[in-house]
């Protein structure tokens, strides 16, 4: 949605709209099974940021939506993936000394 990276559908992350006041809010669908219309992006911060910046979510959901929680949700998503990656980075930076 936000960029030109090509990838298979299984690798994308799904976003949904939560009907909150005063404006519906875009949230990451961690389960991938939430009801309603979904929007997909790559699980890459650059792609998510571009989608917010280019108002891709408003286009996808055909509504004015609040994207204030998008980057926060994506950070939480990355944290879940982090343990193995973080260990790898630590080892690499250690060997450079």
Q: Which of 5, 63, 71, 75 binds Zn ion (CB under 5 A)?
A: 5
The residue nearest Zn ion at its CB is 47
Tell me the β-bridge partners of 16. 27, 38
Q: Is 42 in the site for Zn ion (CB under 5 A)?
A: yes
Q: Which is nearer to Zn ion, 23 or 45 (CB)?
A: 45
**3-state SS class at 26:** strand
The β-bridge partners of 14 are: 40
Exposed (0-12), middle (13-18) or buried (19+): which is 31, by Cβ within 10 Å?
exposed
Q: Nearest-CA neighbor of 47 among 76, 83, 84, 6?
A: 6
Q: How many residues bind Zn ion (CB under 5 A)?
A: 5
Among 16, 26, 28, 47, binds Zn ion (CB under 5 A): 47
For residue 48, give the 3-state DSSP assignment: helix
Binding residue for Zn ion, selected from 3, 12, 58, 69, defined by CB under 5 A: 3
Q: Which stretch binds Zn ion (CB under 5 A): 41-49, 53-61, 66-74, 76-84?
A: 41-49
Site residues (vs Zn ion, CB under 5 A)? 2-3, 5, 42, 47
């Amino acid at each position: 949605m936000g960029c030109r990276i090509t990838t298979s559908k299984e690798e994308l992350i799904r976003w949904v709209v939560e009907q909150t006041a005063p404006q519906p809010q875009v949230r990451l669908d961690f389960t991938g099974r939430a009801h309603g219309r979904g929007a997909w992006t790559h699980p890459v911060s650059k792609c998510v940021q571009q989608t917010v910046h280019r108002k891709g979510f408003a286009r996808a959901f055909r509504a004015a939506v609040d994207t204030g929680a998008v980057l926060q949700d994506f950070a939480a998503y990355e944290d879940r993936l982090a343990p193995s990656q973080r260990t790898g980075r630590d080892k690499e930076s250690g060997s450079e000394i």
